[in-house]
Amino acid sequence: MKEKTLGILGGVGPLATAYFMEMIIKMTDADRDQDHLSMIITNHPSIPDRTEYICDNSRPDPLPVMIGDAVKLEKAGSDFIVIPCNTAHFFYDEIQQSVGIPVLNMLEETIRYAKSKLSGVRKIGVLGTVGTLASGIYKKVCDKHGIEYAKPDEDIQSRLTEIIFGQIKAGKEPDFASFMQIVENMKKQKCDAVILGCTELSVIKRDFNINRKDIIDPMEALARSAILKCGKKLKHG
């Protein structure tokens, strides 16, 4: 079988892109270098901010730059593309239409993964940027799968925004206690699972070694799908 090459449309943000690549390597069942995936990566941090544009269309539009990067990945030999950024999936349809290779939908993979991990899941809470939540992209996927959707209230969202932009993206230590309070707030809303709908929050899961079945990491869901789509095996345990 011809070896498949994964294209990663990255830089949104750069730390999350590096973590995603590391995650793929660690999750692949490999005994030698040659057992790992081939990857082509664009790490393009100067892509205009997705949340700013979604909330205010007068701000610079990130879509043309992301389309340009997707086309580069296709021309470089990628067999399919992933975008390790939840908010960027607001532009998913346009990016997919711009290339002739598949673009895996991170949100779809996440909801399927949540359903496989938690049988009978009925309600999911999503933590993410203001842009992700305002766009309604996760609600649309939840509705499609017959799952009730919940998001933080305004005060909780303000605290979450500080963690994402004021701390993680700024290279500062995140307030872990505040983050876990936000998670528990969603659980009090009767959510069966909480999705870390921002790739910076996935970094918190890694750095603080969070291992809870009810906390779903979209990066992990996307990495699993990418490994399998490339014809490789997942490492167990």
- Predicted pLDDT of residue 175: 95
Q: Buried b vs exposed e over 146-180: b needs ≥16 C-beta within 10 Å?
A: ebbbbbbeeebbebbbebbbebbbeeeebbeeebe
Kindly state the DSSP code that residue 64 receives in the 8-state scheme.
Answer: H
Looking at 55, 85, 142, 191, which residue is catalytic? 85
Instruction: Record the tokens describing residue 103, joined without a space.
Output: 């673009």
Helix (H, G, I), strand (E, B) or coil at 169: coil
Mind listing the pLDDT tens digit for each residue in 151-184? Answer: 999 999 999 999 999 998 888 999 999 999 999 9
pLDDT of residue 42: 96
Looking at CATH, the fold of the domain delimited by 107-217 is given as Rossmann fold (3.40.50)
Could you tell me which residues are beta bridge partners of residue 148?
123
pLDDT in tens, 7-22: 999 988 788 899 899 9
230 is catalytic: no
d(CA 122, CA 145): 10
Q: Is 5-105+221-229 CATH 3.40.50.1860?
A: yes
Please say if 55 is a catalytic residue. no
Catalytic residue, chosen from 142, 191, 198, 230, is: 198
CATH 3.40.50.1860 domain extents, the chain: 5-105+221-229, 107-217
5 secondary structure, DSSP code: E
